[in-house]
Amino acid sequence: MKKVLLPLAALLLGAAPAMAGANVYASALKAENGKISFILNDDATAVTLNILKDGKIVATAALGAGSKGLNTVDIPEIEAEAGTYNWSLTASAAAITEVTRLTDGTDTNLQTSSARGIAVDNHPASPAFGNIYAVSPATPGQAGARTEPGLYAFNAALAPINETAYTGGLDLETGSSSTPNNVAVADNGDVFICVWGDPQGGVYWLSPEDLSANWTSVFAEGERNDDGLVTIDGVDIHGSVQDLALYGSGDARMLYTSDEDMHGTAGDIMAYNIGTLATPWAKAPTADWGHPDGYVNANHRLASDGRGGLWLSQYRWQESAANACVYHLNDKGELDFQTGDKSVFLGSTIVGAMGVNADGSLMCVAGGDTGLSFTVASIAFGEDGIPALTKLYDVTLEAPYTGKRPFDVAFDAADNLYIVFNNADQAGGIAAWALPKEKNEYTTPANSTIDLEGSSSVASQIAAAEIDYAGGIITAEQGAAVYSATGAKVAEGTTIDTTGWGHGVYIVRSGAATLKISK
């Protein structure tokens, strides 16, 4: 055994405020130049480096505690044969014993004025694992710190990635309350956005590698009528899309849409085997599932069940057996379950806000008889493939999230819960809660390898350095690099002027010296 000796020196850096007591996990894992960097969504009592060979852990090293946001550590002393290994990080923290609110409404970066949809990248193989995305339409007159229509992105610590909304090169329809209307994330990290407004209705996608790029239409260009229905050579392709869901990967990737125009009624479910989208989709849907009896409200949500089927929710002020809050369709589009007796939910789903977690075991529906609560239920499928829901938690919303409409729900990989609120004021927008977890621990696999061969010390790579920051100017005699909260390099040099930069957290590195700047 060759012992690779590297000094342990952890530099722990914070990020966005107003989030504590979360179910902790690491994202944005990188290993380069003798260092490991990662983002924690919350403070961790312990972070462990796992060295893997052939899928098995062959060595571990304790990296100590970690703090919310970007963390950078020197690779510690590890006893292992020299070579190139796969690796992962295990973050852990104290148990969460009750549903815990993580946001307090004071972070203006989360105050999207008319938010409609939210999604989290829960795919560890994605280059943007942990990113949180929200969409807000071009509805004037809503109060809020961030009023531009488009896509807003955050890292796992809820630090903003963009200051101004991404619009994908589209002139988003002014005055529309549904352009865009929701967002979903594919297994490779691609971001899909649906638009309900007739002039631009459909689905668009973009790569997380460049969120500022133009959005690409999933569907080929055709003839669009006044209602938003698009045809190609007389074949109906799609209409205005109220919601969307994704399932599968590669050539088997499926896109499910809730279409307003294919049959002229709200909520008809279309399935498209879009695969990798080498070319835009230019034919009829792979399957037309229509909609269940009683699924009649235009305000609704879709969620993949992780098995090829779909969960559907709709806006119900008082649900009944005939008009349920939640339905389930199997992988053939057949209805096999619906609520309706108030045994799970509280009788109403305000605007149909609903989400399902990454492994398909939990559902959250926001609403309740007063519209001021949300319910979390467990999901279990029987041997016959029919699901059952069991209520776990009813949570009453508290200020500043009262008096607002919850429009969509999402979970992250560690089962923290996010809700976006419409009609937001200066304390509204995006809110988060942690669900109870006795073992608050999550292991994130890295998408890169780690090299334990060659040097016995990284000391030669680290030079003494100093960083000064005053009046918006960074000065570093030996030169410095500045990184965004996502780890992307945004500037470098010996003198860097940050005046005019957008709000957010920036990390400055010069040799072994590091400085965090919050703007």
> What pLDDT is recorded for position 142?
60
Instruction: Report pLDDT digits (tens) over 206-218.
Output: 999 999 999 999 9
State how far the alpha carbon of 440 is from the alpha carbons of 25, 41, 100, in Å. 9, 13, 13
The b-or-e profile of 276-285 (16+ CB within 10 A means b, else e) is ebeeebeebb
Q: What distance in Å separates the CA atoms of residue 286 and residue 270, rounded to the nearest whole number? A: 8
How much is the pTM?
Answer: 0.83
| DSSP code per residue over 377-395 | EEEEE-TTS-EEEEEEEEE
> Which residue in this structure is represented by tokens 């995006």?
430
The CATH architecture annotation of domain 1-96+437-462 reads Sandwich (2.60)
> What pLDDT is recorded for position 458?
30
Residues facing residue 329 across a β-bridge: 310, 335
Contact 247, 306 (CB under 8 A): yes
Q: What distance, in Å, lies between the first and last C-alpha atoms of the chain?
A: 48
Every domain of the chain and the residues it spans:
1-96+437-462, 100-436, 463-519
How would you class 136 by CB atoms within 10 Å of its CB: exposed for 0-12, middle for 13-18, buried for 19 or more? buried
> What pLDDT is recorded for position 406?
87
Query: Helix, strand, or coil here: 241?
Result: strand
Side chain identity at 245, as an amino acid letter?
A
How would you write the pLDDT of the chain (519 residues) with one tens digit per residue? Answer: 322 323 232 333 333 433 458 999 999 999 988 899 999 999 999 999 999 998 899 999 999 999 999 999 998 888 888 889 999 999 999 999 999 999 988 888 998 878 889 999 999 999 999 999 999 886 655 666 788 889 999 999 999 999 999 999 988 866 666 789 999 999 999 999 999 888 889 999 999 999 999 999 999 999 999 999 999 999 999 999 999 999 999 999 999 999 999 998 888 999 999 999 999 999 999 999 999 888 888 888 999 999 999 999 998 877 788 888 899 999 999 999 998 866 676 566 777 899 999 999 999 998 754 557 899 999 999 999 999 999 999 998 888 887 778 889 999 999 999 999 876 455 568 999 999 999 999 999 999 999 886 333 232 222 334 788 887 889 988 788 887 766 677 888 889 998 888 776 777 877 656 677 766
How would you class 232 by CB atoms within 10 Å of its CB: exposed for 0-12, middle for 13-18, buried for 19 or more? middle
> What pLDDT is recorded for position 7?
27
> What pLDDT is recorded for position 149?
87
Contact 119, 185 (CB under 8 A): yes
Q: What distance in Å separates the CA atoms of residue 430 and residue 401, rounded to the nearest whole number? A: 9
Ordered strands of the 300-304 beta sheet: 300-304, 310-314, 326-329, 335-338
Side chain identity at 351, as an amino acid letter?
V
One-letter-per-residue 3-state SS of 152-192: EEECCCCCECCCCCECCCCCCCCCCCCCCCEEEECCCCCEE
Identify the CA nearest to 168 among candidates 132, 123, 200: 200
> What pLDDT is recorded for position 290?
94
State how far the alpha carbon of 266 is from the alpha carbons of 2, 192, 243, 301, 304, in Å. 65, 20, 11, 12, 19
State how far the alpha carbon of 181 is from the alpha carbons of 110, 137, 204, 382, in Å. 18, 7, 11, 33
Identify the CA nearest to 26 among candidates 162, 171, 157: 157
Class of domain 100-436: mainly beta
Query: Phi and psi (nearest 5°) for 217?
Result: -70, 135
One-letter-per-residue 3-state SS of 334-359: CEEEECCCCCCCCCCEHHHCEEECCC
> What pLDDT is recorded for position 288?
97
User: What tokens were used for 381?
Assistant: 């499928």
Q: What distance in Å separates the CA atoms of residue 161 and residue 191, rounded to the nearest whole number? A: 15
